[in-house]
Amino acid sequence: MGPGPASRPGRPPLAAALCAALLMLLLLPPALGAGERRRLACSTCRGIADRFNQGLADTAKKNFGGGNTAWEEKTLSKYESSEIRLVEIIENLCDSSNFECNNMVEEHEEHIEKWWFKLKKKYPDLFKWFCIETIEVCCPAGTYGPDCLACRGGSERPCHGNGHCDGDGTRGGDGSCSCNKEYTGDFCLDCSNGYFSTLRNETHSVCTACHTACKTCTGSSNKDCQDCKEGWIKNEESACVDLDECAASPCKDHQYCLNTDGSFSCK
């Protein structure tokens, strides 16, 4: 912000600092939305917990010759919960280029130390203790958002097992469902076009592909079509059968028309 307060006696330094901070905020819009940042924070934390567990495994056999002398046992048990081991593990939690990760470890190192020295017996799952319950960047599976609300369809089987819950397991998202291709609707209980229901109750829905001739259907055969797919037509028995496009001579004079299931080609 230009010259310091000494050269501008009329302006209190605090106001100048506030002005600078405000300007920074206005000039640097957040690159990610809040929801995206929350999701990223959770995956960063999950990465840290995974690397911590990897570090535990990698250091498990350290300082241990394989024999079982009393001296080794004693050294081992000392090392097991030592600060030395913790430091070794923490050093390998993040790749040096991973800013988010290094930031998170630095910011919460005291929590990790507290867990290591006092809490890991009682709360052996670091991910759960650290990421979900302590720094609150993740949620239990099947829940989403700042307050870890249940996903649509419930936390046991989000989206009734037929889709993905937005923000599942993170403090981001809105809990809505993106359904697998067979399913549709807010709760992924309805069948998409081209699929029909083979099981449906309050909690479960199974949709199965229609016959290839149907656009929509109520069963598995070409007689169960509600509408035929393009290139297919209803016959006298109201089954969808292939339309012979070649009957209408759609090709150029010198070409040969080849009728195929649901289509045709000119050779």
201 near ligand NAG, rule: CB under 6 A: yes
* Residue 164 C-beta: closest distance to ligand NAG, Å: 21
Residue 231 beta carbon to ligand NAG: minimum distance, rounded to whole angstroms: 36
Residue 257 φ/ψ region, left for φ over 0, alpha for ψ in the -120 to 50 degree band, beta for the rest: beta
106, 110, 147, 202: which one binds ligand NAG (CB under 6 A)? 202
| AA letter at 144 | Y
Shortest distance, position 30 Cβ to ligand NAG, whole Å: 44
Rounded-to-integer distance, Cα 173 and Cα 176, Å: 8
Best CA proximity match to 152, nearest among 206, 208, 198, 203: 203
Residues 107-126 as x/- pattern, contact with ligand NAG by CB under 6 A: --------------------
Q: Which of the ranges 122-130, 196-204, 217-225, 243-251 carries the binding residues for ligand NAG, by CB under 6 A?
A: 196-204
From the list 23-31, 67-75, 143-151, 195-203, the region that binds ligand NAG by CB under 6 A is 195-203
Integer Cα distance of 120 and 125 in angstroms? 8
From residue 238, how far is each of 48, 122, 224 by CA, in Å? 61, 68, 9
Q: Does 203 bind ligand NAG (CB under 6 A)?
A: yes
**Complex with ligand NAG: residue 35 or 153, whichever CB lies closer:** 153
Torsion sign, CA atoms 215, 220, 225, 231: positive
Q: Tell me if 204 contacts ligand NAG by CB under 6 A.
A: yes
Q: Does the footprint of ligand NAG cover residue 103 (CB under 6 A)?
A: no
- Give the residue among 219, 240, 220 at the shortest CA–CA distance from 230: 240
Distance in angstroms (rounded) separating the CA atoms of residues 147 and 136: 9
Q: Please choose, out of 3-11, 21-29, 198-206, 248-256, the segment that lies near ligand NAG by the rule CB under 6 A.
A: 198-206
Binding site for ligand NAG (CB under 6 A): 199, 201-204
